[in-house]
Amino acid sequence: MNEHTRTDGLSEAPTLPAVLERAAPRNERMAGDKVECNACPVLCQISRGKAGACDRYANDDGRLVRVDPVLLLRRGQTQEATLPFGAEPTPGEVFVTGVGASTTYPDYKPAPFIVSSQAEGVDLVTVVTEGIFSYCSLKLKIDTDRWLGPEQANVRCRGEVIGHVTTAEYGSQMLSIGGVHHLTGGSKKEGRVTCEAMELLGNQQAVELAIDGGASLVVQAGRAPIVGGVEEQRMRVGCGSATIGIFARQFHGLADEVVVVDDHITGVLTEHQAGRCLAMRPAGLRVRGRRSTPGRYFQVANPGTGWGGTDISDPLSILEPPDADKAWPGLRLLMVSTTGEHAGWYVLDEALQPQPAAMPAAVAEVVARIGENCEPSLTTVLFVGGAGGSLRAGVTDNPVLLTRAIKQSLVKVTCGGAPAYVWPGGGITMMVDVSLMPARSFGSVPTPAIVAPIEFTLRLSDYQALGGHMGHVRSLAEMLAGGSWHPDGAPTQRRWLAPTPGNPWPLA
């Protein structure tokens, strides 16, 4: 089974035969020892001891069971566990997530769990489901100055195109992975590889990628990216110009000129406004590239994995011959990158040529300060999904009312209990940081499509007003009391987990 459905160590999980295989999709004729699952349009006919194509329903001796336990967050929980039905926490300490809840896609019937609870004296309802997302993608923010590839270049996994390079941001390279065109618009292999990569990344696992005309890299949510086999250490403190501005006073008196090499904006201290404010003497050093404003240069070199995200290994290669009327023998020159990982100290000789020299301790201290101000490199994985279509019908008979209620801030949207940001404009396009979600939150179906938990929490009175499925509301206390109350009749197993540190409590 995939990561999403593993139940290793969960003593309350359904007892299934040792060999658990995937069932074939629905045929017109069904043998008597099979059970049909109608949780989705695949309508798997599942033989005894096998699981459906989604790995989330199985045939246990002629009985349809859900393989995944439902994940409940509990305030004060210190470790993952599956607890017996007795000695339960009070309802105010518990939030039912969509992880393991299964789905009712297409939602011609109410969501798997519609749970009523009370928080701070307010009657609430949480509609809990796992959405099947074809319209979804991952946005990867990779903290690195290294050049990963040109914008719009294909991103590949196992040779298949699964996304593209998008616009770089401040100190980070950005990738867009997945999307409906890769999941369903290409070949079967492209869709399958895209779905598998998205599921792994969503579940905070490592994936190896290759960019056409660019780098190979390994990315994992919450971990430093590995670019070309080298693990990144630092996210730059700023562009070359910003680095000049931040540390100009600290360099003043220690160096006669400082050049901060950067693929985007290389800074030159004595020309820069910071140097002028300090009344520094013009050094007469000339930098290759396109001059922007004084002390700021674009395109000093090609993008790459060298100094400051350029393709250079020798910083002096970006310097033109100095202005003999301004430069002088003995001029002290520091060349440094935006992370401080590369630095060189030079002194101009009688011919005004920079010669390597031992870096003074005071200068090395400022270079170290640049590194100190760089945050650790991380890969951030954001899941973006369109929670529209029939998913809303599992919440209400009039889906547009749910959309409007979300835009009016009457509904809190969470994913596995993690806060989700809902984009402005039409529809319910939500975005969530996967590192804030419980482990193994994501699954997949053979469509191919991603399965992700989603919860809608609102006041009970508002839920009734938007046409919610009031007849299917069950109290959290009833769930905690035990028994099977899932609409499909399958036994309800539960798994407890502490909320992710830093996440707001979903019922607050």
DSSP string, 263-312: SS-EEETTTSHHHHHTTPPP---EE-SEE-STTEEE-SS-BSSSGGGBS-
pTM for the whole thing?
Answer: 0.87
Ramachandran assignment for 132, one of left (phi > 0), alpha (psi -120 to 50 degrees), beta (any other): beta
Task: Determine the residue type at 272.
Answer: H
3-state secondary structure of 242: helix
Return the pLDDT at 137: 98
Over 60: is that where the pLDDT of 54 sits? yes
* Res 55: pLDDT: 76
CA–CA gap between residue 301 and residue 306 (Å, rounded)? 10
Roughly what angle, to the nearest 10 degrees, separates helices 361-372 and 240-251? 140
d(CA 429, CA 427): 6
**pLDDT at residue 13 above 50?**
no
Radius of gyration in angstroms for the set of CA atoms belonging to the chain, rounded to a whole number: 29
Predicted local confidence at residue 447, as pLDDT: 85
CA distance 153 to 155: 7
Best CA proximity match to 263, nearest among 303, 319, 320: 303
Residue 77 has pLDDT above 80, yes or no: no
> What is the Cα–Cα distance from 240 to 261, expressed in whole angstroms?
6
pLDDT digits (tens, 9 = 90+) for 199-253: 999 999 999 999 999 999 999 999 999 999 999 999 999 999 999 999 999 999 9
What Å distances lie between residue 362 and 8, 251, 348, 367, CA to CA? Answer: 56, 9, 19, 9
Structure tokens given for 232? 């990144």
- Read off φ and ψ for residue 206, nearest 5 degrees: -85, 140
Residue 356 pLDDT: 98
* Per-residue b or e along 109-145, where b marks 16 or more CB atoms closer than 10 Å to that residue's CB: ebbbbbbbbeeeeeebbbbbbbbbbbbbbbbbbbbbb
User: What pLDDT shows up at residue 3?
Assistant: 37
Distance between CA atoms of 218 and 198, rounded to whole angstroms?
14
The answer to whether 244 and 286 are in contact (CB under 8 A) is: no
Residue the block writes with tokens 């994501």: 442
Does the structure show a pLDDT above 90 at 66? Answer: no
pLDDT over 70 (residue 438): yes
Least confident of 79-88, 117-126, 394-403: 79-88
Tell me how far apart the terminal alpha carbons of the chain are, to the nearest angstrom: 35
Closest Cα to residue 132, out of 88, 87, 184, 93?
184
What was the pLDDT predicted at 489? 56
Using alpha carbons, select from 428, 13, 386, 446 the residue that is nearest to residue 199. 446
Sign of the CA dihedral running 466, 472, 473, 476 = negative
Least Cα distance to 365 among 455, 247, 286, 262 occurs for 247
Instruction: Give the model's pLDDT for residue 16.
Output: 39
**Which has the higher per-residue pLDDT, 63 or 339?**
339
The average pLDDT across 273-302 equals 95
What percent of the chain stands above pLDDT 70? 88
